[in-house]
Structure 1
């Protein structure tokens, strides 16, 4: 015992490196992204104890793991019937539009990897900023008759959040079935409001609680989706959470964001996706009835797919869809994202597109809400500028929109940022839209956002101080870990 007391630190350091080397071997066998691999190896070997904590909390890979199992929902007879009906509808359509032929590779990709059907009978409303989105959503919630399904990364009981929560409490008291899944890290609801939700009959579920939970080691996997479904007929998806920050109500920074409202077949895909999450968080059998999938009466023809990705999917569906869309571009690629920390594939695709005389424009925030994300994003910009990509920094406030529009043909609006976390770690959902009028509307918003940006010039950007470039390099190295 005396020896142990005298050499306690040497023993602990030795134990640390035994565990660290074991973790390094595990990482090497997983054959994950080389940058991410190197980042973890450096942290594990250079920072005793801290490295192990970081790896335990953030480094474990759970894609294809049994803890995220969608099969119980996907194998239910009702879901299979809905999927078959969607496939039948798709097969009976000879040609929705010539535009689909141009993007047929992307459509097949999502179907083959995740059985994401192309839906056609849809009506879509493009929503700019949170105040308009919340006005529409609250109105739709008040009209709910059968059920309300909510799945959000951030729900807070601040001013706008309280209005939202009061409405769903009222609807639950009226007999409407209300189920809500909130991310335990992103959301913040007071105990008083939680009691009111429970007393009203709202079923509230936390996604992977991180305090005193058996999932603490998996706190890195977050539900970043923003989905609202009303009566199985109306669906919302996009970048806007439920908080005052997103509706510009707190008189701080201007928040620029984008969302969409869907009426039609695609809502069925959102509904199935919601049930897969509900099945996981409820830890019980979720029985799905046909009542959640009412007959679609939409007469509009807007073709779209719902792309979902996360540790429960075999492939990085959203990242792959973005990659294919970029590589198939012929005229222009316009991207808006709050966090640009891409993998090598996306960087190369953008560089090749720009060097092929395709117009590539990228809008990112000048000032992020995360200093490490800001510096990490900036570390990628010089190489893009050298390839001919036009980079614009948004200056009016914080741009949180996650949108892409290509060739007046393809558009995507959703929850996924162009970063490691959205591509590989978080649960995300994007709507992929194949519709010229919608693409033109989204591109018009993109061009209006350009009016509030500063265009970067390569020769000036290169003159950043060595200190700034060093911080960028360190942030970039840390980005895959966080």
Structure 2
């Protein structure tokens, strides 16, 4: 970590200390007021702890997640009950869900119907169609025909292609990333975006405030504004709050509804193997065209409208999306997983893939932290000879 990054973190911490201190003082005043009824409160919370243990035990959650809460509540009945009320049972996602639901009210935007494609897939592979339909039903995103797709095995390939597509932008550029960091990668894209903004293109960038805490600051975002690029942080890190852990790990770039980029590549130089302290940096990306781009555009609009007062106008994206390429023979279902859904959609889908596999399954991920159900699915598949 560079000295500049250390200063950015220190500046953010100092800015947060005052509101955190005020929150802490407020909690102390509440506790002092409640201390008059400490005996009764302790009994109530102990009973609640017992009920929470029973409730958690009946939930359809990852056993490791349930075990963690059971240990906390059984070890610290009163404190554990309070923590579960504040942080447990997906309560941390309620504020996020409220923001996004409100944002959707300002969106006159319809996603395509995916039933036809699922019906076509069902004739080829009924079992796979069932799993895909479950994802679509749970997330609200459709499976559509794939027009074209391009895979990038390393960030350098994707960087070069991004530059070419940004130069073609005529109406809008939407970018949403977990990490932004000034350097060749980001600054090259920003230079192109600034030129396009000067030509009347609507350019918007969203970044995760905590994910970029060491690499990007409000001052950096304001500099983008001076270049005509609109920029907002996702879930700003201003207070110590229950939804602090709800972060935006998505990596999305959409140009004119014509092409969409996604994958695991953030806008930081190590992703294109510049200045990496840990050797060759391997992450992947892809580009798609066709109706699937609509889903990525919708995702961006949801989150942008939830955290910005400058709503995206419908007439900017409302016209028919352009097709690129020659037309493919496959399907694509862009979607996102989140704590707002009652089901761990991706986790369930990966388990189903493993249980249905007969020959091989290849996973590529920078994060391997398996829950019990997925871990068991890997083992069972391997023991079957997959």
Q: Is TM > 0.5 for Structure 1 vs Structure 2?
A: yes
- Answer with 114-123 or 33-42: which moved more: 33-42
Contact 1:169/1:196 (<8 A) preserved: no
- Indicate how the Cα distance of structure 1 residues 337 and 45 shifts in structure 2: closer, same or farther if over 3 A, else same: same
1:239 counterpart = 2:249:
no
Which residue pairs with 2:237 in the alignment? 210
Q: Which of residues 301, 309, 329 is equivalent to 1:275? A: 301
The whole-number CA distance in structure 2 between the counterparts of 1:345 and 1:295 is 40
Structure 1 residues 44-94: Cα deviation after superposition (integer angstroms, max 9, x where no partner) = 7769999899989975723772531444565677423x43xx44xx52897
Which residue pairs with 1:321 in the alignment? 349
- Answer with 277-286 or 316-325: which moved more: 277-286
Contact 1:64/1:314 (<8 A) preserved: no
Task: Please report the TM-score for the alignment, with normalisation by the length of structure 2.
Answer: 0.75
The whole-number CA distance in structure 1 between the counterparts of 2:119 and 2:67 is 49
Contact 1:264/1:297 (<8 A) preserved: yes
Contact 1:63/1:314 (<8 A) preserved: no
Q: Shift in Å at residue 190 of structure 1?
A: 4.4
Q: Which of residues 141, 154, 170 is equivalent to 1:145? A: 170
Structure 1 residues 415-467: Cα deviation after superposition (integer angstroms, max 9, x where no partner) = xxxxxxxxxxxxxxxxxxxxxxxxxxxxxxxxxxxxxxxxxxxxxxxxxxxxx
Structure 1 residues 200-222: Cα deviation after superposition (integer angstroms, max 9, x where no partner) = 22221111112237xx3211110
- Indicate how the Cα distance of structure 1 residues 23 and 175 shifts in structure 2: closer, same or farther if over 3 A, else same: farther
Q: Which structure is higher in helix share?
A: 2
Equivalent residues in 2 for 1:277-296 (5 A)? 277-282=303-308, 287-289=313-315, 291-296=317-322
Partner SS for 1:189? coil
Unaligned runs of 5+ in 1: 1-7, 359-482
Partner SS for 2:169? coil
Unaligned runs of 5+ in 2: 1-31
Q: Which of residues 371, 377, 383 is equivalent to 1:343? A: 371
CA RMSD of the aligned region, Å?
3.6
Which residue pairs with 1:62 in the alignment? 91
- Indicate how the Cα distance of structure 1 residues 137 and 20 shifts in structure 2: closer, same or farther if over 3 A, else same: farther
Contact 1:73/1:79 (<8 A) preserved: no
Q: Which of residues 196, 211, 224 is equivalent to 1:197? A: 224
Task: Please report the TM-score for the alignment, with normalisation by the length of structure 1.
Answer: 0.61
The whole-number CA distance in structure 2 between the counterparts of 1:316 and 1:282 is 28
Q: Shift in Å at residue 118 of structure 1?
A: 1.5
The whole-number CA distance in structure 1 between the counterparts of 2:50 and 2:309 is 33
Q: Shift in Å at residue 156 of structure 1?
A: 1.0
Which residue pairs with 1:306 in the alignment? 334
The whole-number CA distance in structure 2 between the counterparts of 1:238 and 1:25 is 43
- Answer with 29-38 or 323-332: which moved more: 29-38
Partner SS for 1:171? helix
Contact 1:60/1:218 (<8 A) preserved: no
